[in-house]
Amino acid sequence: MRRKYLYFRRIYYIILQLRVYIQKKGKPMLQALSLWLHETAAGEFLLTMLISMIPVVEIRGGVPAGVAMGLPIPLALLSGVIGNMIPVPFVILFIRRIFKWIRVHIPRLGGMIDRLEARAYRKMSSKNLVRFQAWGLLMFVAIPLPGTGAWTGSLIAALMDLRLKNAVPVIFVGVVIAGLIMTGLTYGVTAIL
């Protein structure tokens, strides 16, 4: 117990030091971070990953953004896939608990949660998705249209009670297919320009 206390105290101390440093030298640090994100290959790779992690944008926006920043197309695809897959296991494992917690502690958001679940159930009620769970989920995630993708696919997998070891590979293959489609579209547009 004592070690755990010391560990958290050290973390708290580090956070306080960072806060003081940011208050004193915050602007130059943010400018340096922005410069690093936009002018180095590693920064562009990380920024493409972060864009691909955003729920609505996902890989559909991550790959074109990476190519627009100057990343080579294979690296943009790789960073988009990695970024899109990072939240998947967390959504599958924790979304029901999060929804339950929100309903209990923030009742005003309960209606929004109900609508979100109803939307996922409507998408899940497709005959192909229910009949061929894995294949239906794969097709759903692979089509790069608004409202489809890894986030919604993870939500559907959680609501269908698919196990993590079964859902993640299927969603991964779907994300790769969607990424290849977006890469083809992006490469086509950039080749024309």
Q: Does residue 9 carry a pLDDT above 80?
A: no
Q: Give the mean pLDDT of 28-43.
A: 73
Instruction: Evaluate whether 51 touches 59 at the Cβ level (below 8 Å).
Output: no
The whole-angstrom separation of Cα 99 and Cα 179 is: 29
Q: Which of 51-55, 58-62, 183-187 has the lowest mean pLDDT?
A: 183-187
Look at residue 148 and tell me if it is in a domain: yes
Q: Which pLDDT tens digit goes with each residue over 61-78?
A: 889 888 888 889 899 999
Q: Which pLDDT tens digit goes with each residue over 121-132?
A: 776 666 555 567
Look at residue 80 and tell me if it is in a domain: no
SS3 71: coil
**Which domain does 162 fall in, by range?**
85-192
Look at residue 67 and tell me if it is in a domain: no
Q: Which pLDDT tens digit goes with each residue over 86-98?
A: 999 999 999 889 8
Look at residue 22 and tell me if it is in a domain: no
Confidence at residue 126, expressed as pLDDT on a 0 to 100 scale: 61
Look at residue 117 and tell me if it is in a domain: yes
The whole-angstrom separation of Cα 65 and Cα 92 is: 27
Burial 128-139 (b: 16+ CB within 10 A, else e): ebeeebbebbbb
Q: Is 81 exposed, middle or buried (0-12, 13-18, 19+ CB in 10 A)?
A: buried
Look at residue 172 and tell me if it is in a domain: yes
What does the block give as tokens for 87? 């939240």
Query: Looking at the 3D structure of the chain, how many domains does it have?
Result: 1
pLDDT > 70 fraction of the chain, expressed in percent and rounded:
75
More confident residue, 6 or 146: 146
Look at residue 156 and tell me if it is in a domain: yes
> With bands split at pLDDT 50, 70 and 90, how would you rate the model's confidence at 4?
low
Look at residue 109 and tell me if it is in a domain: yes
Confidence at residue 172, expressed as pLDDT on a 0 to 100 scale: 96
Average pLDDT taken over every residue of the chain: 81
> Please, what sign has the CA dihedral across residues 193, 79, 181, 147?
negative
